[in-house]
Amino acid sequence: MSEITYKPGHEPHPRETRRIFRNIDRVGYTPSIKSFLADGGYEALKKALAMEPAAVIDEVKKSGLRGRGGAGFPTGVKWTFIPRGNTKPVYLVCNCDESEPGTFKDRFIVHQDPHQLIEGMVIACYAVQAHYAIIYMREEFPEAAKIMKKALKEAEKNGFVGKNIQGTGYDLKIILHRGAGAYICGEETGLINSIEGVRPYPRIKPPFFPAAIGLYGCPTIVNNVESLCQVRQVLLRGGEAYAAEGAQRSPGTRIIGVSGDVKKPGYYEIISGSITYGELLYELCGGPKEGRKFKAIIPGGASAKVMRCDEVLTGRNPDGSVRKMSIFDVPMDLDSIAAHGSMSGSGGVIVMDDSRSMPEMLRNLNRFFAWESCGQCTPCREGNPWMLKLSTRICEGKASPEDVDLLKSVADNICGRTVCAFGEACSWPVQAFTTKFREEFLALTKPINALKPHNPESAEARKYLTRED
Amino acid sequence: MTEPTDAINVLAEDIPSPGEKFYPSFKPTPELEAEAREYVAMYPEGRELSAVLPIIHMVQEKFGFICARSIPWIAEMCKSTPIHVAGVVSFYPGIRRKCPGKWHIRVCHTIACAMSGGEDLLKFICGKIGVKPEEMTEAEPMAVSADGLWSIEAVECLAHCGFGPNVMVNDTLYSRVTPEKMDEILEEYRRRD
């Protein structure tokens, strides 16, 4: 394995473990099936096809693999939600609508190593006995759509997709369906509606999982790109061996995408829980930019609650005693950060240093969510533009101090009152920003601070408005 | 532009754009129909409606945008109604009801790209291609330059956050774009004429 060479400037950090991203930026590796087969491709599929479908599901359940799309639901358990005695066709959809700001992992898989995904998909389809699968790819990946179409043809020619796969009598058709630039299509029921050809409004729950009623009213499994690639790893390693590695409750590797104010932003594949946020940001990412200090971290994509870097958190030592810690001491697995009120989501870490104005950051997120709200539920459709107006007014120095509380109250009234999780996704950032950085919001509500600073107090507040590079 | 209250007119009329001279105008041909049928055949039997997005993409790629005349044709192809197709078209930000320029520029301005200068870059490009940033409104997010060569649009997350600011010109993504780099990119496209 040591003979892999990566393109200069793209070498993995020694603390990384490249599995899913093994072939990303590798010298001489192309998206063609030749490269993949030479790297031991489709061996996991052969292994799976020799097993009973139920045994494959058991293996994935044993592995403890959890979905990588953000919610972290156990993949194997999701597969068992297909109703017993089901006579309808089963569908599998690969969610490649990667659109959570801060997340950029699936892009590299579908652009540089598409066969890895196809193999994972065929294994998953075999396990749930689906004969028709769809890769739902976002419109902003036109190159990847071409690469993926070519890869699917290659896989069919080599007998890994199509009729009678590897002589086992198992048939599977995989098609590529492109979205059209809507964030809401990442929500699984919205995605299903998008495939059905209607407006992609998320569907009312229950049923909570489309595994019961999904595409065309049939049982449908929706899995993220990385989850399906991890399924391949489970088959390669065996469920028990996979479960033994990394954090107990979220085993395996994780791909972390770091963006924002660090010296070396980019993607890092680590064993889940093997490093802390501090190690990630200071060792792997090279620390803050020259002369700057870290101020805030959004740990799991734009909808996760922001964490202050100087926040004192309480954790527990292995012996059960309480200890004081900061965000930098929290291990990078799926659950640890959740204990401190945020979430690890899809692994997109956005870092802000002390040059950033937090109200300005929130305004940007409000604009994103106002633009992307699908408009189905009133609280979200009306609340998001309202929150954008409020945060814009605050940033322009035209707001009163009460507006800060109003902003949070609007968020509180969206949260939990919508059909899909978008309601939480848009209100969590507002709740966290306005609570944790309240002083910055309030500073901007004093009219004098929005003008030219002519006293120390306004100069102090002014620093949140300007950025010195 | 038509009054937004007049839904029927919104469907029946196209918004004129200088970019139209670079794209053929929509004409339903047997070849086009054959291609549409291929998309329909991808989906299970009786699920023609699923092909609405692929067919819309096909029309948009060939003709630049979804013109009013193409909507009934698309509806016919996927056994639906024009109003349903119009509903789908109007939902997605990636589907255009106005013709873009020959080169369509998408600039990401979501948090990570904004932090690395996406907003300033957007203004910079606007200046370079002769478009006022105010022309990009919520109702009409895309602005087309007078010569029809360029169109520009501020978009949300392109999923390449670690390497911002990100810009897409037609199907190609450019990362860590500085004004100097953008100048070179624009020059390169100008030379392609």
Report cis status (omega within 30 of 0) of the bond before A83. Answer: no
Residues A237-247 have pLDDT tens digits of 999 999 999 99
The alpha-carbon gap from B20 to the nearest alpha carbon of chain A, in Å, equals 21
What does the pLDDT read at residue A315?
86
Helix, strand, coil shares of chain A, percent, nearest 5, are 45, 15, 45
β-strands B167-169, B150-155 pairing: unpaired
Taking only residues 198 to 217 of chain A, the set having a beta carbon closer than 8 angstroms to any beta carbon of chain B reads 198-200, 216
User: Inter-chain contact B110–A364, Cβ cutoff 8 Å?
Assistant: yes
How many residue contacts between A and B have a Cβ separation below 8 Å?
A: 134
What does the pLDDT read at residue A447?
60
**What's the ipTM?**
0.93
What does the pLDDT read at residue A460?
65
Question: In one letter, which amino acid is A168?
Answer: T
Confidence of residue B3 (pLDDT cuts 50, 70, 90): very low
What DSSP string runs through B134-178? GG--SS--EEE-TTSSEEEEEES--S-GGG-S-EEETTEEE-S--
What does the pLDDT read at residue A319?
87
What does the pLDDT read at residue B2?
39
A180, A199, A267 ranked by CB distance to B162: nearest: A267
Q: Cβ–Cβ contacts within 10 Å for residue A180, how many?
A: 22
Q: What does each C-alpha distance from A270 to A19, A300, A377 come to in angstroms? A: 9, 15, 38
Q: What does each C-alpha distance from A299 to A166, A256, A333, A425, B35 come to in angstroms? A: 42, 10, 11, 13, 45
Contact status, residue A307 vs residue A297, Cβ threshold 8 Å? yes
How far from chain centre, in Å, is Cα A250?
15
Contact status, residue A296 vs residue A288, Cβ threshold 8 Å? no
Confidence of residue B11 (pLDDT cuts 50, 70, 90): low
Residues B18-54 have pLDDT tens digits of 999 999 999 999 999 999 999 999 999 999 999 999 9
pLDDT tens, N- to C-terminus, chain A (469 residues)? 457 899 999 999 999 999 999 999 999 999 999 999 999 999 999 999 999 999 999 999 999 999 998 889 999 999 999 999 999 999 999 999 999 999 999 999 999 999 999 999 999 999 999 999 999 999 999 999 999 999 999 999 999 999 999 999 999 999 999 999 999 999 999 999 999 999 999 999 999 999 999 999 999 999 999 999 999 999 999 999 999 999 999 999 999 999 999 999 999 999 999 999 999 999 999 999 999 999 999 999 999 999 999 999 998 888 888 999 999 999 999 999 999 999 999 999 999 999 999 999 999 999 999 999 999 999 999 999 999 999 999 998 888 899 999 999 999 999 999 999 999 999 999 999 999 999 999 988 876 555 544 556 556 666 665 544 4
What does the pLDDT read at residue A398?
85
What does the pLDDT read at residue A462?
60
Residues A5-17 have pLDDT tens digits of 999 999 999 999 9
The alpha-carbon gap from B95 to the nearest alpha carbon of chain A, in Å, equals 6
State whether residue B63 is helix, strand or coil: helix
Q: What does each C-alpha distance from A353 to A15, A103, A289, A294 come to in angstroms? A: 24, 19, 8, 4
What does the pLDDT read at residue B10?
55
Chain B within 8 Å of A288 (Cβ-Cβ)?
no
Give the ranges where A373-421 is alpha helix by DSSP (H): 378-395, 401-414
State whether residue B119 is helix, strand or coil: helix
pTM of the model: 0.93
Q: Which residues of A touch B157 (CB under 8 A)?
A: 99-101, 183, 302, 368
The burial of A35, by beta-carbon neighbours within 10 Å (0-12 exposed, 13-18 middle, 19 or more buried), is given as: middle
d(CA A33, CA A35) in angstroms, rounded, equals 5
- Pick the more confident residue, A446 or B141: B141
Give the ranges where A217-285 is alpha helix by DSSP (H): 225-237, 239-243, 277-279
